[in-house]
Amino acid sequence: MQPNNRADVVTIGESMVLFQPMGDKGIKYEPLFTKSLAGAESNVAIGLTRLGKKVRWISKLGKDSFGDFILSTLAGEGVDVSNAIRDERFPTAVYFKETKSFGDPDVYYYRKNSAASHMEPSDVCMEWMEGARHLHVTGITPALSENAAAMIRKTMELAKDMGLTVSFDPNLRRKLWSEEEARRVLLSLIPLCDVFLPGVEEAQFLLGHQSIEDYGKRFLEMGPKIVALKLGEEGSIGFIEGNTVKAAPHVVKNVIDTVGAGDAFAAGFLSVFLDEPADMTSSSLNKALNRANIFGALATQFRGDWEGIPTLDELNALVLGKAEVKR
């Protein structure tokens, strides 16, 4: 890696090829499907890149056309993919998403024995973190396999040793592992992060039924300096030592697809955190939460996982209420 290859953020995790029915007949009857990219960490990478941050994405992909598609899509969005590993022994994962007229979409994963599930602690190297300021990980990759979980832990520990700040979104995926293992592993990773980004349902899963304020207090006691708790339609609430900040939701008329909203929230929050990570005040926490709420809400307006994330110019125009001249 070149010495001047700077990165604001490094993120690591599995990305998959996403197929969705083109019409409204559902997977069973629809003959035509659209193809896109999906993955929590790559969603965050694209979101941060659109906000002007330099992002390095790391994963393990099969040496197949699906892997080629993922790399070309991310590179086309400006994400650095030079550290991605290709493994001809295992395939790139795919999944299908079926949007319904009510509730969250149904998703069907085909990722067992995927290349990313074979990421190992031995894959981790200092080169991943060189020139970087921050590491972002989620709880999805540890759910893929024991070796992937050990790799994420080692990566977080290395980042801390090298002076990077670390954010962690539990991003609970119940289909991938048992509740007991998920709770144990996710709780064990919280002390390794500076910024913890759970949803209220994930907080309940990890700690049981408690008040919102107690969730913030308990998570801060585990080690993070900042906790940003997503409250869904009620917005979000942030906790730092001695202060609690509530941010109102960004209201949208119709929710089309909720998948990817949490990743957009993380990108919006981290884009502010990265500008002042050492001394986030109540004012900057409020700004981060409000931007995160806007990003999370806008992500629900598109069927794709990341396509609706705005650029910095589009965000500023939205905040200022200025419409772009179209013709």
> CA–CA separation, 171 vs 267, rounded Å?
14
Polymer length in residues for the chain: 327
94, 119 in Cβ contact below 8 A?
Answer: no
Burial of 321 (0-12, 13-18, 19+ CB in 10 A): exposed
Q: What are the beta bridge partners of residue 62?
A: 87
11, 136 in Cβ contact below 8 A?
Answer: yes
Burial pattern 211-225, b for ≥16 Cβ within 10 A else e, equals: ebeebbebbbebebb
Burial of 64 (0-12, 13-18, 19+ CB in 10 A): middle
> Which residue of the set 8, 123, 194, 263 is catalytic?
263
Strands (E), 200-297: 226-230, 236-240, 243-247
Handedness of CA 49, 55, 58, 63 (dihedral sign): positive
> CA–CA separation, 81 vs 69, rounded Å?
12
Instruction: Tell me if residue 263 is catalytic.
Output: yes
| 121: DSSP letter | G
Task: Find, among 193, 258, 254, the residue nearest to 228 by Cα.
Answer: 193
State the CB neighbour count (10 A cutoff) for residue 31.
Answer: 8
Task: Find, among 141, 122, 115, 117, the residue nearest to 63 by Cα.
Answer: 115
Task: Find, among 37, 29, 49, the residue nearest to 13 by Cα.
Answer: 37
Give the residue numbers annotated as catalytic, written as ranges. 263
